[in-house]
Amino acid sequence: MKVHLEFPKWKKDVSILFQEIDKKCENVLKLYDHFLLLYISDPLASVLYDADEPFHPLPFETSAENMAKHLYDQIEETGLPISRLELAETESSNIIYEPTN
> What does DSSP assign to residue 33?
T
Query: What is the residue extent of each domain of the chain?
Result: 17-97
Helices (H) and strands (E) in the chain, counts: 3, 5
Q: Is the pLDDT of residue 15 over 80?
A: no
| Per-residue pLDDT reduced to its tens digit, 62-75 | 999 999 999 999 99
Gap between the Cα atoms of 46 and 17, Å rounded: 43
* Percent of all residues in the chain with a pLDDT value above 70, rounded to a whole number: 93
The confidence band for 39, taking pLDDT boundaries of 50, 70 and 90, is very high
Q: What is the pTM of this model?
A: 0.85
**Using CB atoms within 10 A of its CB, is residue 77 exposed (0-12), middle (13-18) or buried (19+)?**
exposed
Residue 91 has pLDDT above 90, yes or no: no
